[in-house]
Amino acid sequence: MKPDYLIIGSGLSALVFGALMAKSGKTVQILEAHEHPGGFGHTFTMAKKYTFNAQFHYVWDCGEGQTVNRVLKKLGLDQEVTFERYEPQGFDHMRMDGYALDIPSEPEELIQRLSKLFPEHSDCGNHSASDCIRRFIQEVEKT
C-alpha cells in the first residue's frame, strides 16, 4: 500500500508531522538511516570518534496553551509528556576563573547580570555595555 506521506528522516519535526498526519487518518511511512529515531534528540557518534550530546536539555513554549502543549494535546499526549520548570533564577551555572554566572530564564535578568559582570564591554559605538549585550541577547532569541 502506498502511504499518503513518505517522510525521509525521523527528526523531531518529522516525527511530530507524521504523528499528526497519522492521528488525522493518513498513512505515514518514515525512513531513517540512523539506528534510532529522533534526530538530534539523543546522543550520537560521528566518524567513530566524536560523540555529541544533543539530547534535550531545555524545551521552551511548553506551558499551558503554548506551542508544545497544543501539539501534545492534539496527539493526546499532554498528560503523559510533562515538563518541569527549571529554577528561573539560575538553571545553568557558568564558572570560569574570575567569573561566575547563573543563567536565569528571563532574558532581561540575563542582560542585567551580564552587564554587571562585564561593564567594560561597551565597544559598540555610543551604546552602553547593557545596550550591546541587549542587542546580542535579542539576536540570539531571534535565532
Task: Evaluate if residue 123 carries a pLDDT over 60.
Answer: no
Cell readout for 80 is: 503523559
Q: Model-level pTM greater than 0.75?
A: no
d(C-alpha 54, C-alpha 14), whole Å: 17
Percentage of residues in the chain having pLDDT higher than 90: 41
pLDDT band at 78 (very low <50, low <70, confident <90, very high): very high
Task: Evaluate if residue 56 carries a pLDDT over 80.
Answer: no
Could you please report the per-residue DSSP string of 96-136? ETTEEEEE-SSHHHHHHHHHHH-TT---STT--HHHHHHHH
